[in-house]
A and B are shown apart, each in its own frame.
Chain A
Amino acid sequence: MSSLIMIIVTCALINNVVLNQFLGICSFVGVSNNLKASASLGGAVIFVLTIASAVASILYTFILKPFNLDYMKTIVFILVIAALVQIVEMFLKKTSPGLYRALGIYLPLITTNCAVLGVALTNVQDEYNFIQSVFAGFGTAVGYTIAIVMLAGIRARINESDIPAPFRGAPVVLLSAALMSIAFMGFGGLS
């Protein structure tokens, strides 16, 4: 059990998916101009990443590995993730309209979020079993949510301040991310 908690802590804080591994930077920079949207996207990512890690792990263990189709993993994973996001979207629409309204528009955004494919591939690389993969997926998504919500909070204040013209827009966001990344390096001591 403690090893599973360690996986979550490692994925969420020590090896933060955005600030340390640079996965999902696109939506991290793109969506973080709105705090509410960031939180919703974070929720959607937690949802999809956990399920995607589980499905990818099952597929890898029971289909790709026994048939020596290891080299097919990139193609299989990306298609499964794309299909999965569609299914989750349809399922939520039918069963839980409230949740769908909250997460709905952010679900398609996740298909090409490299964090999802990245985690699926990392789980295989680290030879995680099913349970470990699910925890790693969940932990990574929590890390993503922490990072994007924090950046959205910072950006809300940046919008109010007077910053030098050349730094407006993308540069100041990247600078904030750099400072957050330095702060997250401190979690390295936990490992």
Chain B
Amino acid sequence: MNKYTERIYNGIVKENPTFVLMLGMCPTLAVSTAAINGIGMGISTTAVLILSNVVISALRKVIPDEVRLPAYIVIVATLVTITELVIEAYLPALYSALGIYIPLIVVNCIILGRAEAYANKNTVPLAAFDGIGMGIGFTVALTVIGFIRELLGAGTAFGVQILPASVEPIGIFIKAPGAFLVLAIIVAVLNAFGVKNRSRELVSGCDGCCATCSKMTADCGKEGSK
């Protein structure tokens, strides 16, 4: 496996951002009410992730170390604004379904996390493939959660009625608690099958999970300025 396909495999399976690294929980839980929303959010995030990885990797020798985080945030916020305007113009239905969670891609820790952990140390093509892999991993995860919630909560899959009308759908799955419930059970099942959940061991490191992303930002900032 060459290093480009390795990046993609890494993003989808080995370091799946949602199921293994537990990054970017907010959009994962919020927009996965239906499979199609999951795909939409996943693709939007993937677009931002690839572009931000490419830009940050290209500028890695230009951006001074001390101000790299503000610089990354500006880059990501710009890309998110562009993505938001494109979605608003061409996919109004998706725009209203995702709502406030599109601008909130800025604070999705997958993006800053990959910038810190990978893009600012590697070449542009590798960073791009890292973005593609992570993006697909995130999209797959969101779609799986969305699919389960939609099937149980509304009896449909991608908007098509699957369960017969005689089966009463369990409404709570498309409401807020369903998101926590489905993710909890998926992670537990993965744990049971020996897929190691790395959220905990990463906490100490500087490419930690979302919980530590901001802390990592602070800590790594301190380390960088030493």
Given the known interface contacts A108-B218, A181-B177, the answer about A26 and B77 at a Cβ–Cβ threshold of 8 Å is no
Q: Is the interface of B mostly helix, strand, loop or mixed?
A: helix
Known: A22-B26, A108-B218, A178-B177. A121 touches B172 (CB 8 A): no
Q: In angstroms, how far is the closest chain A Cβ from the Cβ of B195?
A: 10
Judging by beta carbons under 8 Å apart, are B215 and A108 in contact?
yes
A29 within 8 A of B: yes
A170 to B211, CA, bound (A): 12
Q: Which residue of B lies closest to A83 (CB)?
A: B70
Complex Cα gap A122–B185 (Å): 31
Q: Flag if A24 contacts B26 (CB, 8 Å).
A: yes
Q: List residues of chain A with CB within 8 A of the CB of B74.
A: 75, 79
Please, which residues of chain A bring their CB within 8 A of the CB of B29?
22, 25
Residues in chain B near residue A185, CB distance under 8 A: 175-177
- Tell which of A29, A108, A113, A165 touches B107, judged by Cβ atoms closer than 8 Å: A113
A22 to B210, CA, bound (A): 13
A31 to B176, CA, bound (A): 21
Contacting pair A114 B26 (CB below 8 A): yes
Q: Which residues of B contact A156 (CB under 8 A)?
A: none
Report which B residues bind A (CB closer than 8 A). Answer: 22, 25-27, 29-30, 70, 73-74, 77-78, 80-81, 84-85, 100, 103-104, 106-109, 112, 172, 175-181, 183-185, 187-189, 191-192, 197, 199-200, 203, 209-215, 217-218
Would you list 28 pairs from A and B whose C-beta atoms are within 8 A, ordered by A residue? A22-B26, A22-B179, A25-B25, A26-B210, A29-B25, A30-B203, A30-B211, A72-B81, A79-B73, A79-B74, A109-B215, A112-B112, A112-B214, A114-B26, A118-B104, A122-B100, A166-B191, A167-B184, A167-B188, A169-B197, A170-B199, A171-B188, A174-B184, A174-B187, A177-B180, A178-B184, A181-B176, A181-B180
